[in-house]
Structure 1
Amino acid sequence: MAQTTVVESYSGPSVRELARKHGLGAAGRLPTLPEYTRQLWAYRHFIWEFASAKVSASLGNTRLGMIWQVLTPLFNAGVYYVIFGVLLNTKHGVGNFIPYLCTGVFIFGYTQTVVQAGVQAVSGNLGLIRALHFPRASLPLSITLVEARNMIASTAVLIAIVLFTGEPITVEWLLILPALVLQTIFNAGFAMLVGRLGSTLHDLRQLIPFIMRVWMYGSAVLYPVTQFTAHLHGWKLALVEANPLLVYIELMRHALMENVILAGSPRRLWTEAVIWAVVMGLGGYAYFWRGEKGYGRG
């Protein structure tokens, strides 16, 4: 009876107050978005090291190693040039078709590789997810980081191609970095979007190559953008020209090449690029965060 009286008369802080005081939370609780962002920042070194490990694992057994990250888009550009530029003569209307084509292939390939790897960001790392506690957005972010590092080397090769084909260095070259930064933000959001979708829709992995192939044909990678204005009008043309990958490709062509016909004015392209980066970056991040507690279950 005396013990009961002591317990009932206890007037100290509640368990909830003690937990809050010492930074403890309920098990299985979804952190708020600001909390989640702080957790990601705390794991920034893990994200970097995980990205480095993925690069070493994917290319460590090849003789050329990192060089393949540059050779792959070069080979693709060579094949596309022979088929579309020579055999189908899609280069008609473009004064300097080789850098025009290579820019499209390199910039589109940047997003393509992020999406193809991002769809398996969760489903391909279930063992790691079930064994360790860390913010799961680290996985698609590390994928984006890997491809961003590869894109730096690819951009250096692209610049060499542009110079070799006679394009001069202009002040617009200063726009290369902000264009790539905006595309990287877009890619990160897209990787998180497909990462969550791919965690439950396992067939999405098989569909992604077909989706990206159709997307490539709609992004003026292999032929002049004037093909759209010649065959499309009204809302159809506006819809195609708002394609985010077309926007990022056109921005890079504008930065690297002179006398190139664009899908719109530079001001409009930059506005659309910023909007796509914000919408996909924040939207993909929030969408992935909402599914945080379900990854690795089942």
Structure 2
Amino acid sequence: MAFDSSDLKPVGARPPLLDYLVSLWGARHFVIYDARVRLAVSQDHTVLGKVWLVLNPILFGFTFYLIFGLLLQTNRGIENFTGFIIIGFMMFFYTTRSFVAGARSIANGQNLIRGFSFPRAALPLAINVRQALSQLYVLAAMFALVLVVPPSERVGLHWLLVIPIFLLQTVFNWGLGMLFAPLVHKIPDVGNIMAVVTRLWMYSSGLFYEPSRFTDNATILALFHLNPLYQILQMTRGVMLYDTLPSMEQWSLLVVWAGGVWLLGLIAFWRNEESYANERR
């Protein structure tokens, strides 16, 4: 009896994009389970446990406040500089943590990739779900600090706008991780360069200063406004500190950045699907 092998496909072969998305949805239980378990054990080796999820950003933010607020006095002309830097730090480093971890997801997930058949995009997705769950603790701390640290702010319904900002930021983070994961897999040295890139990104996002205080150059200020992280920080600060609703231009820019980077990241990641089980030579 003849055996028809025409319908057989090699293990790890790249399916059509739509089928790939369907299979990724099918892996959602693995993604959620992996994210929750890794978050649960992430601080098990420490005495304070999950408290460090909140304490780490607070301590780093306090360090930046001492250096840039008290010593370098970049706080001049900024109302509620304490809240300004708390929000800036906690929202900015959510993206950099997710970006770096997502970009390294394939390089760090080789045992899973070689042992099981599943859409590889589940790896950066699981990392971003874990980072998003971790960020919920950070957001709770951020709200509490803005409420209790002088000059304290009052809660308003407009604070709810932090939710869509956070969701768009999460989509952007996921796309960024997928975009760089194939590159880090092929050229591991890129992982070291990312530390420099994120540091440069930090200084160009207005994390601890207002750009207009240091320059009135229209081109430079326009570049700041095109930076998605600058907009995320400004929108969150406006909502929580200054009773200012984000403009339609800000929402549009953030939606374009989040959707565009996610789509580019998905396509780049999918096109390299077959290469992820290959050992680098």
The aligned counterpart of 2:221 is 237
DSSP 3-state at the match of 1:122: helix
Deviations 1:124-169, CA, capped at 9 Å, x for gaps: 1111111111111011011101110011111111111111132122
Unaligned segments of structure 2, at least 5 residues: none
Q: Which amino acid aligns with 2:155?
A: I
Deviations 1:54-76, CA, capped at 9 Å, x for gaps: 22343221122211111111011
Q: 2:194 aligns with which of 190, 196, 208?
A: 208
Larger gyration radius, structure 1 or structure 2: 1
DSSP 3-state at the match of 1:167: coil
Task: Count matched residues.
Answer: 277
Deviation at 1:240, TM superposition (A): 2.1
The aligned counterpart of 1:281 is 262
Q: Which amino acid aligns with 1:158?
A: M
Judged with a 3 Å threshold, the aligned counterparts in structure 2 of structure 1 residues 68 and 27 are, in CA distance, closer, same or farther, namely: closer
Distance 2:107 2:13 in 1: 22
CA contact (8 A) 1:172 1:254 kept: no
In angstroms, what is the RMSD of aligned CA positions? 2.1
Report whether the alignment pairs 1:104 with 2:88: yes
What pairs with 1:80-159 in structure 2 (closer than 5 Å)? 80-159=64-143
Distance 2:211 2:140 in 1: 24
Report whether the alignment pairs 1:34 with 2:41: no
Q: 2:251 aligns with which of 270, 273, 286?
A: 270
Distance 2:204 2:127 in 1: 25
Deviations 1:170-191, CA, capped at 9 Å, x for gaps: 2321211000000000000011
Deviations 1:72-96, CA, capped at 9 Å, x for gaps: 1101110000000000001101110
Q: Which amino acid aligns with 1:280?
A: V
Deviation at 1:293, TM superposition (A): 0.6
CA contact (8 A) 2:39 2:134 kept: no
Judged with a 3 Å threshold, the aligned counterparts in structure 2 of structure 1 residues 41 and 153 are, in CA distance, closer, same or farther, namely: same
The alignment's TM-score, normalised by the length of structure 1, stands at 0.87
DSSP 3-state at the match of 2:47: coil
Judged with a 3 Å threshold, the aligned counterparts in structure 2 of structure 1 residues 26 and 295 are, in CA distance, closer, same or farther, namely: closer
Q: Which amino acid aligns with 1:276?
A: W
- Identity score, percent: 33
Distance 1:116 1:152 in 2: 19
Deviations 1:171-214, CA, capped at 9 Å, x for gaps: 32121100000000000001111211110110111111111111
Deviation at 1:272, TM superposition (A): 0.7
DSSP 3-state at the match of 1:297: coil
Deviation at 1:283, TM superposition (A): 1.2
Deviation at 1:53, TM superposition (A): 2.7
Distance 1:251 1:225 in 2: 15
Q: 1:256 aligns with which of 217, 236, 240?
A: 240
Report whether the alignment pairs 1:188 with 2:174: yes
Structure 1 stretch 180-189 or stretch 247-256: which is displaced more? 247-256
The aligned counterpart of 1:292 is 273
Judged with a 3 Å threshold, the aligned counterparts in structure 2 of structure 1 residues 214 and 278 are, in CA distance, closer, same or farther, namely: same
Deviation at 1:119, TM superposition (A): 2.3
The alignment's TM-score, normalised by the length of structure 2, stands at 0.92
The aligned counterpart of 1:11 is none
CA contact (8 A) 2:100 2:194 kept: yes
Distance 1:234 1:63 in 2: 50
The aligned counterpart of 1:171 is 157
Deviations 1:3-43, CA, capped at 9 Å, x for gaps: 9xxx9xxxxxx865xx4xxxx65655421111000001101
CA contact (8 A) 1:119 1:204 kept: no
Deviations 1:235-260, CA, capped at 9 Å, x for gaps: 33212210011111111111211167
Q: 2:204 aligns with which of 218, 227, 231?
A: 218
Unaligned segments of structure 1, at least 5 residues: 8-13
Q: Which amino acid aligns with 1:92?
A: R
